[in-house]
Structure 1
C-alpha cells in the first residue's frame, strides 16, 4: 500500500493520529459518556482526560490472506491529544483513508422503499503532546517495528510481550492506561498480536470532531474483528460491520450468542456501478458485501470474544424494505376529506336545483285556468231537435186522411 504524504489541505487541520489497528468490519459507536474502550480498541490520554467516540465507521475487506480496514471516527473529549491503541494479528501497514467512500456505502445499502398511498390522514387524539515514540526501553518488552509519517497522520506499529510493560511504555509517552484496558490487552499479548498506535493531536482547544480516516492492511488467516478490548467499556456499544468477501458472511464467534445480530444488507457490489475509486477497488477484488449491526448493553458480560466471520449458510441476497405511507393530496390537503366534502356539496346543490325545478313546474300548473271541454272524434256532436211536423229526415209530415 502506498504511503503518500501529498494530501489535500483539508486533511491538514493539525490532527496527527498516532495509532491503531482495527480489523474486520465497520463500526458505528455512540457513547454518551467517556469510556476508554471503544468497539475497535482503546483510547489512552494524559492523566485527568477522557476520550469517547460518538461515531465509528470501519469497512473491511478480506481476500483469504489479507485484510484491509478503513476507519473513520468522531471523537468527544476535552483532551488536547490522545492515542488510540488497537491489536492486529500481524503488523499493519497504515495510510490515509478516503472519507467519501463511507458516503457512497450508505447509498449502496440504502433500503428499498415501498410506497403505500392513502386518501385519509391518520386519526390522532393528541398526545499536552509529547514527541512521537522512538524506541521502547528493552526492559519494558515493547518494540517499535515501524513509524509511518503521512503528513496529518503518524502511526507506530508495536509489538509487546507484557501488558504492564506496554502500559508503562504508554505512561512514559504521556498516556495513562486504565487497569480495565490493561487487563483486556493481556489475551492479545499472550497470543502474540501486534498493535498500531495512532496519536491524535490538534492545534484547536481539544480533539472533538471528525478525524481523518485511516487505511490499514495486514496479513490474516481468517476474517476477525478485535472486540475483546470493548469488554472494558462502561457504556453501550453499537457496532456495524461492513464485510467484503467473495460470498455472504455470518458471525461465528462466541459473542454472537450473547447479543442480537441484525442483518442489514447482503449482495454483490458492481465495481463499475460505484463512483468512489477506493470502493471500486475493494469491490473489484472482494465483490460481496454483508452488513450486520450488533448491540451490546452490558459489554463486560456480553463481549467474550473477537468477532469472527465465515461463509453463511444463507446464500440469498437481502436488502431492507421500508414501508412508507404517503397521502394523496388535492391543493395540499388530504384527498379523501376534500373529495368527500366536494361530493356532499355537489349532492346538496343537486337537491336544491332539483327541488326548485319541481316547485316551478307545480306553480305553472296551478296558474293555468280550466277551459270548455273539447269534443273528440269518438263523441258525435249533438243535433238540435227537429221542429214539429218535420221528421228527422227533413220531410214535412202531413196528417193522413182517412
Structure 2
C-alpha cells in the first residue's frame, strides 16, 4: 500500500539543470476587449473571482492555474498557465500590476522543469502487521502501489499598448479613477459585479496599471479547452508581490500554487485571509534550461507554496513576499509503504506461524514430560 506523505528538511541544496500542481483558478477576472475597432465581444460577466470569464451563455472552469514569480531585486516577472474546460469561444481577465508591463508568450517547458525540480522524493518503508487491503483484511496484499483594435480611451482610462499573442488579445491600461475603469469595461461589453470599484480603488490610489487579456482562438469554431499557452508579464518592482485582492469576488473556494524565484528563500508576509501557506519545496536552482532563460542565466533560490482559500471573501490584500529567516533547503518525502515479505510471504504470517508451531511443540513436550513423570497407581 502506498502511504503517508511526510515532509522533511533536506540538508543539501538541489541544483538541477532541468525541471506543474494543485489547482487555483486565477486571481482576477474583470475583463474586456474587442477584436477590432468598433467590434465588441458579447457581454460577459466579469468579476474578480479567481477564474477566467467566458462570454454570455458559455461555461468555463479552470482546472489548474500555476504561477511563477521571478524577482531580481528591481524587476519582477509573473508567468501564468491555465488548464481550462469550457464550451466558450472566448473569455477574458484582467491583472493589476504595480508598473508598466511587458507581455509575451512563455514556454511550457518552464512548468515542466519546475514540476520535476520540486517533485517529492519517494522512499520505501516496510510495515509488519497487515493493513486494509492486505490479506486477510482485504482481497490480497498489494504490491505497494496506490489505487493517479482596442475600443477608444475614456476619461480617466488610458490604453498604453496592445499585442496579439497567439490566442491572446492583450491590452495594457492605466486608470486614475476606479469608476472610470469600471465604466470603460462596462461600455465595452462587460457586466461588472457590485463592489468591484471598491476593490480597484487601492490599485488606482497606488498608481498601478492593468493587463487586460481577451482569449479567443483564431481557428474558426474552436473553443477554449485544455492547457493554454503561458503568458509572461514583466515590470519594475522594488518588492515582489503576487496580486490576489480581486479574488475575493470568487463564489467558490480558491487554491493557489506559486513558484517564487529570488535571491533567497521567500515567504508570504501573511495568509491574507486564507489557510496558512504550505511550503512544498525550497532549494537553489541553477541557470539552466527554461528556468535559466527566465532568470537571465542567474542562479536563484526556488520556494514553492500551496495555499487554499476556503472563503475567498476574506481575502484582504495581495501576497507581499519577503525573505525568510534562513535559506534552509526543504523537500517533501513520500513514503511508499509496503508489507514486509520474504520470498513473497508476509513476514507477520511467517512469524505468527512459527510462534504457533513453537507453542504447540512446547505443549506436546510438556504433556509427554508429565506422562513420563507420573506415579503408577499400583505403586501407591
Instruction: Note whether the superposition's TM-score is higher than 0.5.
Output: yes
Are 2:266 and 1:249 aligned? yes
Distance change (3 Å), C-alpha of 1:123 and 1:299: closer
What is the aligned partner in structure 2 of residue 378 from structure 1?
none
What is the aligned partner in structure 1 of residue 325 from structure 2?
313
Are 2:192 and 1:183 aligned? no
Are 2:253 and 1:236 aligned? yes
Between the aligned partners of 1:114 and 1:74, the Cα distance in structure 2 is: 31
158-167 or 232-241: which moved more?
158-167
What is the aligned partner in structure 1 of residue 9 from structure 2?
none
Post-superposition Cα deviations, 1:355-392, rounded to whole Å, max 9, x if no partner, equal xxxxxxxxxxxxxxxxxxxxxxxxxxxxxxxxxxxxxx
Are 2:145 and 1:134 aligned? no
- Work out which of the residue numbers 220, 223, 235 in structure 2 matches 1:218: 235
Q: Is residue 79–residue 207 contact of structure 1 (8 Å, CA) maintained in 2?
A: yes
Q: Is residue 254–residue 312 contact of structure 2 (8 Å, CA) maintained in 1?
A: yes
- Bigger radius of gyration, 1 or 2? 1
Between the aligned partners of 1:225 and 1:313, the Cα distance in structure 2 is: 20
Are 2:48 and 1:37 aligned? yes
SS at match of 2:73: coil
Distance change (3 Å), C-alpha of 1:198 and 1:256: closer
Give matches, 1:147-296, under 5 Å: 147-202=162-217, 203-204=220-221, 206-253=223-270, 255-256=271-272, 259-272=275-288, 277-282=289-294, 284-296=297-309
Q: Is residue 45–residue 176 contact of structure 1 (8 Å, CA) maintained in 2?
A: no
Distance change (3 Å), C-alpha of 1:256 and 1:171: closer
Where structure 2 has 5 or more consecutive residues not aligned to the other structure, the ranges are 1-20, 27-44, 140-148, 361-380
Post-superposition Cα deviations, 1:84-142, rounded to whole Å, max 9, x if no partner, equal 10100012111111112212211101112232124553256579xxxxx4253333x22
Post-superposition Cα deviations, 1:203-222, rounded to whole Å, max 9, x if no partner, equal 44632332111111111111
Where structure 1 has 5 or more consecutive residues not aligned to the other structure, the ranges are 1-25, 128-132, 349-402
What is the aligned partner in structure 2 of residue 298 from structure 1?
311
SS at match of 2:283: strand
What is the aligned partner in structure 2 of residue 55 from structure 1?
64
Q: Is residue 27–residue 58 contact of structure 1 (8 Å, CA) maintained in 2?
A: no
Distance change (3 Å), C-alpha of 1:162 and 1:286: farther
Distance change (3 Å), C-alpha of 1:257 and 1:84: closer
Give 1:49 shift.
Answer: 4.6
Post-superposition Cα deviations, 1:57-108, rounded to whole Å, max 9, x if no partner, equal 1111000111111110122444321211010001211111111221221110
User: Number of matched residues?
Assistant: 309
Q: Is residue 146–residue 158 contact of structure 1 (8 Å, CA) maintained in 2?
A: yes
Give 1:258 shift.
Answer: 5.2
Q: Is residue 58–residue 72 contact of structure 1 (8 Å, CA) maintained in 2?
A: yes
Q: Is residue 85–residue 224 contact of structure 2 (8 Å, CA) maintained in 1?
A: yes
SS at match of 1:305: coil
Q: Is residue 36–residue 51 contact of structure 1 (8 Å, CA) maintained in 2?
A: no
Between the aligned partners of 1:89 and 1:30, the Cα distance in structure 2 is: 21
Distance change (3 Å), C-alpha of 1:244 and 1:113: same
The two structures have a TM-score, normalised by structure 2, of 0.71
Distance change (3 Å), C-alpha of 1:30 and 1:160: closer
What is the aligned partner in structure 2 of residue 18 from structure 1?
none
Give 1:249 shift.
Answer: 0.9
The two structures have a TM-score, normalised by structure 1, of 0.67
Q: Is residue 45–residue 174 contact of structure 1 (8 Å, CA) maintained in 2?
A: no
Give 1:183 shift.
Answer: 3.4
Distance change (3 Å), C-alpha of 1:296 and 1:82: same
Post-superposition Cα deviations, 1:231-250, rounded to whole Å, max 9, x if no partner, equal 11111111122110011111
What is the aligned partner in structure 1 of residue 110 from structure 2?
101
Distance change (3 Å), C-alpha of 1:258 and 1:53: closer
Q: Is residue 167–residue 216 contact of structure 2 (8 Å, CA) maintained in 1?
A: no
CA RMSD of aligned residues (A): 3.3
Larger helix percent: 1
RCO higher in 1 or 2 (8 Å CA, sep ≥ 6)?
A: 2
Post-superposition Cα deviations, 1:217-272, rounded to whole Å, max 9, x if no partner, equal 1111110011100111111111122110011111114x457531211111101235
